[in-house]
Amino acid sequence: MQPDVLGFEYPHIDERICTHCGLCTVACPVLNAPDEHGSPREEPQALAAWANDALLRQESSSGGVFGAIAADFVAKGGVAAGVRLNLDQRRAEHYLSTTVVDLTYSRGSKYIQSHPGTIYNDACTYLRMGRQVLFSGTPCQVAGMRRMAAQYAGADLLSTVEVICHGVPSEVVWQNYLASLETRYGSKVMDYRFRSKFPEGWHGYDTMARFTNGREYVRNHRQDAFNAAFLRDYCLRRSCYDCEFCSGNSVADLTLGDFWGASPSLDDDKGVSIAVVRTARGRELLEQCGRLRHTVVSLSVAQAGNPRLTTGHIAVPAQRETFQRVLLEEGYEAAAKRYLRPVPLGRRIASRAYRLGSRVATQVCHWLKTAFSSNKRGRVR
C-alpha cells in the first residue's frame, strides 16, 4: 500500500516479488460482487441496545454493544478483531483479541482509517484452525474480510460486525492535528479520545487528549479542529463521498452505530446503540449475549438518524478543494486557521438550548401520551 499526498493509501503491486497468483484481484471487494458465503440475508431488523456493564458503556462512544458481544464471543473460545489507537505510530490499527482484557483497547470510536496490517491473513489462519472469528470494521473492510475468507476453508466460522461509517478523513490532517496539539501543550499525547462522554454526556460529547506532562485538552467536538475537518467533510477519502458499501449493499451480519433519535424511554444520555440485524448469525450475536439489553425499534427511525444506512452519498463541500490546496501549499496551521475555526459561542449556546428544549418537549409528549393511554385503559375497564 502506498499513500498519496493526503495520506490515503492505495494498493501498489511490486512486480519484482509478485507471483501473479491473482489472489489480490479475487479477494478485492471493489473488483468483485459481494461474497454470499455465510449466513443467508434476512430482512433488516433494528434494535436499540446497550451494555449492562456501566463502565463499558461509559467508555464506549454509544451503547458499548460491540464490546459486550466481543467479550461474550472471546469468553466462549472465539477470537475477535477490533481497532485500537496506537499513539506511538499516531494511527489506528486492527488487532486480534483472545482475552476479554485485550478488548478494552477497542472501546470508543476512532475517526481515522485503521491500518489492517496482517489482520486478514491472521483471521484466516484462525478460521483454518477451526476457531470462530468475529471481525469488526467499516463496511468496506468487512466486505474485504468476507472476500478473503471465502478463499479458504473455515469461512463459515466467520462472523462480521460493521460500524455505520461517515467516511475516513485524511491521515495527513490527523497527523498534523496531533503534532499541533503537542506543540501547543509542550508534551507528547499519551491518551486520546475522539469521543468522551465526560463531562457533557453522549449527545454533547467532547474530544479529549492527555499529555505526558500531566496537562489535558478537552473541547466540545464543535470546538475541535479535527472534528471540524471531519464533520464538515473537508478531507474524506474521495470514494467515501459515494460509498458503494453503505446502504443496501452491506455484507455484514450486524450493523452498529449511534441510535440518534431514540425515544426518551431509551435515551438517558449514557449512550444507546442501534443494531441492525441482517442475518441469522447477527441475530444470534445479539440474542445469545447475556451482557446486553435490547429492544426492537423502528428501522425507519434508525435510518432517519443515520442517513448512511440508506445512502452512500455525501455532498462534496464547495470548500473541500481549497481547504486541501491550502493544507498542501501553506501547511496545516494556515488551513486550520482559515477553515477549521470553532462554531461561534452564540451558535453553540443556541444549538445546545435547541437540543435541550427538543429533548424536554419529546419527554413531555411521551409522558402525556403514556398518561393518556393509561387513563383511557382505566376508563375502558
DSSP 86-115: ETTTTEEEEEEESSTGGGGGG-S---SPPB
pLDDT at site 99 = 97
**Residue 61 has which C-alpha cell?**
462512544
Q: What angle do the packed helices 65-75 and 280-287 form, to 10 degrees?
A: 90
pLDDT at site 372 = 58
Phi, psi (5° rounding) for residue 24?
A: -65, -40
DSSP label of 229: H
**Residue 205 has which C-alpha cell?**
460529547
pLDDT at site 355 = 46
**Domain spans in the chain, listed from the N-terminal domain onward:** 2-168+236-309, 171-234+315-343
Neighbours of 129 (CB within 10 A): 12
Phi, psi (5° rounding) for residue 359?
A: -65, -40
CA-to-CA distance for 76 and 372, rounded, in angstroms? Answer: 46
H or E segment and range at residue 219: strand 216-220
Tens place of pLDDT per residue across the chain (381 aa)? 899 999 999 999 999 999 999 888 888 998 987 765 566 789 999 999 999 999 999 999 999 999 999 999 999 999 999 999 999 999 999 999 999 999 999 999 999 999 999 999 999 999 999 999 999 999 999 999 999 999 888 899 999 999 999 999 999 999 999 999 999 999 999 999 999 998 889 998 899 999 999 999 999 998 999 999 999 999 999 999 999 998 678 999 999 999 999 999 999 999 999 999 999 999 999 999 999 999 999 999 999 999 999 999 999 999 999 999 999 999 999 999 999 998 665 554 554 544 455 555 555 555 565 555 555 555 555
CA-to-CA distance for 306 and 300, rounded, in angstroms? Answer: 10
Decide if 35 contacts 150 (C-beta within 8 A): yes
CA-to-CA distance for 61 and 206, rounded, in angstroms? Answer: 11
